[in-house]
Structure 1
Amino acid sequence: MEDWLKASTEVEASWVTVDLAIFTVRGDQLMVLLIERGLEPFLGQPALPGGYVQKRETLHEGALRELKEEAGIDGRQLHLEQLGAYGDPLRDPRGRVVTIAYLALGPDLPTPVGGTDARRAYWAPVSQLGSGAAQLAFDHPAILTDALEEVRRKLEYTAVATAFCRDPFTLSELRTVYEVIWGQQLDPSNFRRKVLNTSGFVRPTGEQRLPPTGRPAALYRRGNAWLLSPPLLRGTGHTT
């Protein structure tokens, strides 16, 4: 018993935070939500929104609160899921901090409003981050990389692409989601055939939308399937 008590007093205290990789499609670009830190450490540097989990809240509740406080966005309207845990002992200069990263997706989300310890919040095009992603605070470059690959993978096997579309949507709008996230052009005819041949992926509303030019486009909503069978696998520049 004495050895156990001694060992317990030598364990370094640790804290739990949540960080959020939030993606949306705006102007045919994949965007990620970033904040400019208003406090040390990493004062003035860009970071993913997040913060400490309070004593009496769940991880999910903490993620929703931080999203609301730091960016003014209601996370209850988003597709929100855990991405993973990150616990490198040196990831935070303040001490041993383990973070639970969340992945959040939504359709054409509004301009964020910074608050609490965020000087400002803004949407950054993922395609233009480049080496700038390495300037993100903490281990957020790794979290962002993992989150982006997870979204790309989920587009192949699940109906998560519909989380980027406002109901109802056209197949062209759905195809744009795949193109901007995968970074490749997809053949419209092949994409349409694959989507409509994937049971439960989308369901027609029976209505049409009249574009400024061209033919009316049929409108759809997400179907009742989450896992796609067959999956829509990433190709070499086009669907087959």
Structure 2
Amino acid sequence: MIKYSYNQFIRGEENMDASNPLYENQCIHVEVVVFTVDEGKVKTLLLQRGVGPFLGEWIVPGGVVFNNESIDEAAVRELEEKTGLKKVFIKQFYAFGEVNRDPRMRMVSVAYLALIDMHKVDLQHMTLKTMDSKWCDIGDIPKLAFDHNQICDRALEELRHYVINSNIVKDLFYKQFTMPELQRVYETILDRKFDRRNFRRKLLSLGLVEKTGGIEENSSHRPAEYYRFVKDEYEEIDIF
């Protein structure tokens, strides 16, 4: 086996084949941190490993990138294979590449996040490599395998950034919603309170939401008007 020094590598004199120790035993992974809002709490989806290493411990959904697919395609495929979730909007937010983050080999993970309505999906609780799945309050996440606690922490920071700077919250609402329902979601994710009138005025002035013309039925109080997001596709917009 021909060995190359670091200086040779920098000068471009290395041979980029599998026998080169600078490249061997490496792998690209994807992880998808899936969030939801339920009963006034932000929750994330965890899977229980059915294989080693860390057999029986909890992780976020993810897996290896195949040679014949892009990183985005791998994230979509792994999310469906491990959870059954399909047609979910995902957003890439960071790469994790500490040298010893995986005991098997050098593993670089590209991380994504998603925000979904947990009541509109049917989760797979057991797959070829997982034994169970569960929604966990972000304040009660146990010690996870690998560096997945760090990934979850960073994902929550990024989620709050996207909530402030995009319409990603739309993925929590299938069709229509009341303004109080929408405000509670923003307050839950961002962990802050908004003035009711200012919140409504801000979202309408940005053209982010619009009235549907419908109102709540069978309400014991003054019926609230229904709203919907103006755009179905993801849009970056400075909200707060």
TM-score by length of 1: 0.85
The corresponding residue for 1:19 is 31
Task: For residues 116-138 of structure 1, give each alpha carbon's deviation from its aligned partner in whole angstroms, at most 9, with x where no partner exists.
Answer: 21111111111333xx2xx1111
Match of 1:173 among 169, 178, 181: 181
For the 8 Å contact 2:35–2:45, the answer to whether it is kept is yes
Alignment of 1:141-180 (within 5 A): 141-180=149-188
| Farther off after superposition, 103-112 or 214-223 | 103-112
Separation (CA, whole Å) in 2 of partners of 1:210 and 1:59? 46
Structure 2 equivalent of residue 95 of structure 1: 105
Identity of aligned residues (%): 33
Deviates more, 1:220-229 or 1:25-34: 220-229
Q: Distance in 1 between matches of 2:99 and 2:3?
A: 27
| Residue segments in structure 1 that go unaligned for 5+ positions in a row | 233-240
Paired residue secondary structure (2:228) = strand
What is the Cα deviation at residue 44 of structure 1? Answer: 0.9
CA RMSD across the alignment: 2.2
Question: After alignment, is 53-62 or 205-214 more displaced?
Answer: 205-214
Q: What whole-Å deviation, never above 9, does each CA across 1:14-52 have from its counterpart, x for those lacking one?
A: 111110100111223211000011111111111101111
Is this contact kept in 2: 1:165–1:173, CA < 8 A? no
Q: Secondary structure at the match of 1:79?
A: coil
**Structure 1 residues 7 and 15 mapped into 2: Cα distance closer, same or farther (>3 Å)?**
closer
Distance across 2 between alignment mates of 1:81 and 1:73: 15
2:225 aligned with 1:213: no
Residue 125 (structure 1) aligned with residue 133 (structure 2): no
Q: What's the counterpart of residue 203 of structure 2?
A: 195
Give the aligned partner of residue 63 of structure 2: 51
Q: Secondary structure at the match of 1:166?
A: coil
The count of corresponding residues between Structure 1 and Structure 2 is: 224
Residue 64 of structure 1: aligned partner: 76
Contact 2:100 2:106 in 1 (8 A): yes
After TM superposition, the score normalised by the length of structure 2 is 0.85
Contact 2:29 2:65 (C-alpha < 8 Å) held by counterparts: yes
Alpha-carbon contact 2:178-2:226 (below 8 Å) kept? yes
CA distance in structure 2 between the partners assigned to 1:42 and 1:212 by the alignment = 50
Instruction: Please identify the structure whose Cα radius of gyration is greater.
Output: 2
Aligned mates of 2:124, 2:90 — CA distance in 1:
20
The answer as to whether partners of 2:115 and 2:169 remain within 8 angstroms in 1 is: no
